[in-house]
Structure 1
């Protein structure tokens, strides 16, 4: 930690440590405050808002700014999306059929509405139209990860110096409002149709709370990490290839595609150097996804 020119610089190690603290504070808040759990407010958001207010009060009292080295956060972002790619199955996607097509059409329609609304409001307030895009699908559909990944590019191309702040704020408020509005609606629909979760379906992120924790050995964890790192290496090469073609994509996007490609071309029973099969939909991958997402959102 270094104090220079009225700015407190917090290195990557301390930033990760504080992110973990934020996550646990959010978890405790969700356990104590009923409406946070009732409306499914994510733990990183609960803890993050508290720390954001504390840092704001600290800045008002001391006039000091706090700057975090968030390089580790960006690595966690890549980890998370890579695990999502590893767990993606084109076979399961094809089973979606007509309901999936309807959902896709509705989603695309609302994406257009989001962007048009964002651009209109931004223009009305005399802001760059691209600020409206950051407050539209970039943050509301893509979430924190997409907003953080695209903000530097938008800042560079359009000179919007507050791109990161706009993207993160929009994603955070979108997450909160979606939980407040979507939670009661989802609860109503679940009760109305008496919906039950599939007992034998593996989770993409985390493990079921009402079931015994699955046994994950150190080798299971390292096996999953090896698969993730393999996908990231392929994703880096894909990113360079896309850049060579004149396109700019965030690294997490190509790593996501790398995970999807490898998971769908590598036979699930194909033996690897680890002596195990490809770890798609295994508890170790879900655990890493849960850890990465929680710490990433808390730091954001």
Structure 2
């Protein structure tokens, strides 16, 4: 095909796309109100467009485009660009946990996205849970220098825990300095001589660093779970997780509780260890029930 003719046809398609996108936006508005984020409805849209897609775009590519089209919302996330919270927000929606949650409560933002628990290191310490997102966590060593020249490594404490074995073997003499986020670590490594950062490969391009070593995480199946927070609750799905009879099981085992904190076993994702024998027995009995009476939210289960 003639190049000029192809470009002309692409321009015409672009014009039609803009018109159709604006027409879709007009149809989605309800009396001037922006479209409300409904996780179940979003899933149905993605399933529909996957079925309609005949290529050459992949199904995932089409869904990524539609994710940008249908989400006219403001999202708050933890940390600077390049953090795993930022990546999870981008995955789901295209400076502290309290700030993010508070902004949702005060309606300064439409939704907030915060890390809830990590499959290796557990939980990361007035709103509703609307959806969940699972993001594989792969750490890398970023620097402007090769291994022999590196004297100091920056990272978040959790990232150091996830990569301790590799660091012990490859940089045993380098000082390890904890900072607020892996993105901040990359920023410092870009500014200081003879330093490196344990961070995501996304930060390498953001801060103009080289990826000295890829995937240095000890647990290769490491996943962090995120919750999407909002003001309202989603409709029941028929596969709801909250059952009030859980308290009867605790009473049966004579457990006087105010809270239960679990630790990841490290054996497989979302498998936990409990140290008290009665608690372990009770939790084994109520595997299919909720662990708390507080309703944090109702949302579609996200596969990972």
Same fold (TM over 0.5): no
The higher relative CO (CA closer than 8 Å, separation ≥ 6) is in 1
What TM-score, normalized by structure 1, do the two folds share? 0.26
What TM-score, normalized by structure 2, do the two folds share? 0.26
Please say which structure displays the higher CA radius of gyration: 2
Choose between structure 1 and 2: higher strand proportion.
2
Choose between structure 1 and 2: higher helix proportion.
1
